[in-house]
C-alpha cells in the first residue's frame, strides 16, 4: 500500500523527501500520468503499455551510505549471534563409586562436543574398573552429528574399544534425541573391523521432584548379531542395565547423586560370565556426581 501510494503521488520510494533534503540521494523523476476525475492517476487510469516495472527498494538500505563490504560483515556477525554461534560442551553424566558384593569399582560416562545447533563433532567416553586394579572397559567414540529435526540428531563415526583385550574398532551409526514425554534416547549400531554387528539402546528420564531434586530412571541394553567368545559376548540380548538415581543440583553444572542399579547377563553372555567366575546378576548401589561445563 505504501509503495503504490508513493508511486501514485510521484514520490520515489527509494529516496523519500527527508533523505533527498540531506543530500543522501537523488529522487527519480516520476513519469507524467493521466489524471482521472479525482486529479490522481489510480488503477485503470494509468496509460497502457509494456514499460518494465520500476525497481523495488533495495533490501539493504544502509548499503547506500556505508561500504557494501562493511555492511556484509556486520550482517554476517548479526546472523551468527542470532543462531550460528559455535559452542563447546564437556560433561560427565556418570562419575560414580559402585558398591558391589565383595568388591567395589568405579564407572564414568560422558561426552564432549564442539559445533553449533545443526552440525557438531561429538567425542564420547565411558569406562569402568576396580579400585587398585586395571581398567576393565574403555570405549572412545568420535562422531559427526547432524540435526535432522528439532528433536533428533543423526550421528556417524568411529568407536574404538581400548579394553577389553582384544581391542576392536567399529563403524558407528546412531540416532539420538528427545522422544515424546521428554525421554532422552540413543539407538546405536556398531560394525567391527572383524565384521561383527552389535547394537545398543540407551534411555533416561529426568523427573523433577523439586526445582533441585531430580529422580532419573535409566536403561541400557546391548545386543549382538553373533556370538563373540573372545569378548565374552553372546548373540541376541547380551546384557541389560536398569537403574534409578536421585541427584541434587547444587548448581546446574554440579549435582551429586546416589542410587541403585541392577545388571543382568543373558544367553551365551551369561554362560561366558559363569565360566570366568563372574556374577550373572549384579545388584549394586552407586554414588557419584554429574558435572558439565
Whether pLDDT at 31 is above 80: no
The helix or strand, by DSSP H or E, that contains position 244, with its residue range, turns out to be strand 236-248
Same domain, 103 and 72: no
Per-residue pLDDT of 219-234, as tens digits, reads 999 999 999 999 999 9
Average pLDDT over residues 40-48: 64
Of the residues 84, 103, 126, the one at which a domain ends:
84
Average pLDDT over residues 198-227: 97
Identify the pLDDT of residue 159: 98
Percent of the chain with pLDDT over 70: 87
Per-residue pLDDT of 233-266, as tens digits, reads 999 999 999 999 999 999 999 999 999 999 999 9
Same domain, 158 and 232: yes
Same domain, 263 and 279: yes
Same domain, 151 and 192: yes
Same domain, 100 and 79: no
Residue 29: which domain range? 2-84
Same domain, 77 and 97: no
Task: Work out the mean pLDDT of the chain and round it to a whole number.
Answer: 88
Per-residue pLDDT of 69-94, as tens digits, reads 999 999 888 887 777 788 899 999 99
Split into its structural domains, the chain has a count of: 2
The residue with greater pLDDT, 67 or 5, is 67
Same domain, 100 and 184: yes
Same domain, 63 and 98: no
For 256, the grid coordinates are 551429586
Same domain, 197 and 99: yes
Phi/psi for 157 (5° steps) reads: 175, -145
Of the residues 84, 107, 127, the one at which a domain ends:
84
Identify the pLDDT of residue 226: 96
Of the residues 34, 68, 84, the one at which a domain ends:
84
Same domain, 106 and 241: yes
Average pLDDT over residues 188-195: 96
Same domain, 68 and 98: no
Same domain, 17 and 91: no
CATH number of the domain where residue 222 is located: 2.40.160.40
Amino acid at each position: 500500500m505504501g509503495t503504490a501510494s508513493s508511486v501514485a503521488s510521484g514520490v520515489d520510494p527509494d529516496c523519500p523527501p527527508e533523505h533527498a533534503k540531506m543530500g543522501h540521494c537523488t529522487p527519480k523523476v516520476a513519469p507524467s500520468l493521466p489524471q482521472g476525475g479525482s486529479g490522481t492517476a489510480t488503477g485503470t487510469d494509468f496509460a497502457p503499455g509494456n514499460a518494465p516495472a520500476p525497481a523495488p527498494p533495495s533490501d539493504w538500505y544502509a548499503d547506500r551510505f556505508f561500504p557494501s563490504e562493511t555492511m556484509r560483515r556486520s550482517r554476517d556477525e548479526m546472523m551468527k549471534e542470532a543462531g550460528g554461534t559455535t559452542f563447546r560442551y564437556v560433561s560427565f553424566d556418570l562419575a560414580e563409586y559402585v558398591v558391589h558384593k565383595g568388591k567395589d569399582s568405579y564407572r564414568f560416562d560422558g561426552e564432549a562436543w564442539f559445533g553449533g545447533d545443526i552440525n557438531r563433532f561429538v567425542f564420547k567416553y565411558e569406562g569402568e574398573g576396580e579400585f587398585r586394579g586395571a581398567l576393565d572397559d574403555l570405549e572412545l567414540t568420535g562422531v559427526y552429528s547432524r540435526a535432522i529435526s528439532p528433536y533428533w540428531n543423526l550421528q556417524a563415526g568411529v568407536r574404538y574399544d581400548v579394553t577389553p583385550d582384544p581391542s576392536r574398532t567399529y563403524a558407528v551409526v546412531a540416532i539420538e534425541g528427545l522422544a515424546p514425554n521428554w525421554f532422552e534416547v540413543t539407538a546405536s549400531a556398531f560394525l567391527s573391523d572383524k565384521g561383527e554387528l552389535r547394537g545398543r539402546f540407551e534411555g533416561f528420564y529426568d523427573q523433577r521432584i523439586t526445582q533441585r531434586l531430580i529422580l532419573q530412571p535409566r536403561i541400557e541394553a546391548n545386543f549382538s548379531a553373533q556370538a563373540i567368545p573372545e569378548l565374552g559376548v553372546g548373540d541376541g540380548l547380551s546384557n541389560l542395565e536398569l537403574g534409578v538415581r536421585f541427584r541434587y543440583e547444587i548448581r546446574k553444572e554440579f549435582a551429586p547423586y546416589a542410587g541403585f542399579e541392577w545388571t543382568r547377563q543373558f544367553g551365551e553372555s551369561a554362560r561366558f560370565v559363569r565360566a570366568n567366575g563372574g556374577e550373572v546378576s549384579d545388584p549394586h548401589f552407586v554414588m557419584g556426581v554429574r558435572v558439565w561445563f
